[in-house]
Amino acid sequence: KAGVTQTPRYLIKTRGQQVTLSCSPISGHRSVSWYQQTPGQGLQFLFEYFSETQRNKGNFPGRFSGRQFSNSRSEMNVSTLELGDSALYLCASSRLTPDNSPLHFGNGTRLTVT
Amino acid sequence: SQQGEEDPQALSIQEGENATMNCSYKTSINNLQWYRQNSGRGLVHLILIRSNEREKHSGRLRVTLDTSKKSSSLLITASRAADTASYFCATDSIIQGAQKLVFGQGTRLTINP
């Protein structure tokens, strides 16, 4: 069974630009969660989707948005990039909701904002 | 602030020794999970322990949960160089009316050959 796939693996953008990250979950998994990981803040929850509906959202500004498609694939978008958005963005899928079943993580997208 | 906090932040031991990491949390939980992360890669799920369980084993891993103290520990026995990684606990908690999985800051474990 293929694991969680995130694309692209690395991304370099400049301030003010926008970026779209993609995540393909494990087949059959209906929940997709996104996390931002930085050395200073650790793993911060961005949002979670379940069957195309945003079930939960973390404390991030409106510049961060996401969506889930009918095939469970998910995208997240960050507009008007800031230097502080440089981070490893991790996507994880689970068969049920994350609080009840293990998360399966992709290897992340490393975003650098210059 | 994080729901779970790991202790110690960093741990360095010799290969073959046992490694113990602790996690404390603040609110009631339904379950607690442990994950491992190798440098620059995604997290890998290790164990999920439910609030009505006190101990769980998986290979060389042993997890305990004490809900009265709101704490959990992860023990890795007979450590190997490949165990070098960061270890995170994650707890489900109600934040702003929604149930979320919240990760601690992690323990960085180094196994010296």
In degrees and rounded to multiples of 5, residue A111 shows phi and psi of -100, 125
Tell me the nearest-neighbour CA distance from B43 into chain A, angstroms.
6
Q: What Cα–Cα distance (Å) separates residue A39 from each residue in A43, B2, B26, B76, B102?
A: 9, 14, 23, 25, 16
Hey, what are A72's tokens?
């469970």
- Nearest by CB to B30, from A55, A99, A110: name it: A99
User: Could A103 and B48 be called an inter-chain contact, meaning their C-beta atoms sit closer than 8 Å?
Assistant: no
Nearest CA in chain B to A107: B42
pLDDT digits (tens, 9 = 90+) for B51-80: 999 999 999 999 999 999 999 999 999 999
pLDDT digits (tens, 9 = 90+) for A38-66: 988 889 999 999 999 998 899 899 999 99
Q: Is A26 or B30 the better-scoring residue by pLDDT?
A: A26
User: Could B42 and A45 be called an inter-chain contact, meaning their C-beta atoms sit closer than 8 Å?
Assistant: no
Q: How many CA atoms lie within 13 A of B52 on its CB side?
A: 0
pLDDT digits (tens, 9 = 90+) for A87-97: 999 999 998 87
Highest mean pLDDT among A83-92, A94-103, B40-49, B85-94: A83-92
User: Could B100 and A56 be called an inter-chain contact, meaning their C-beta atoms sit closer than 8 Å?
Assistant: yes
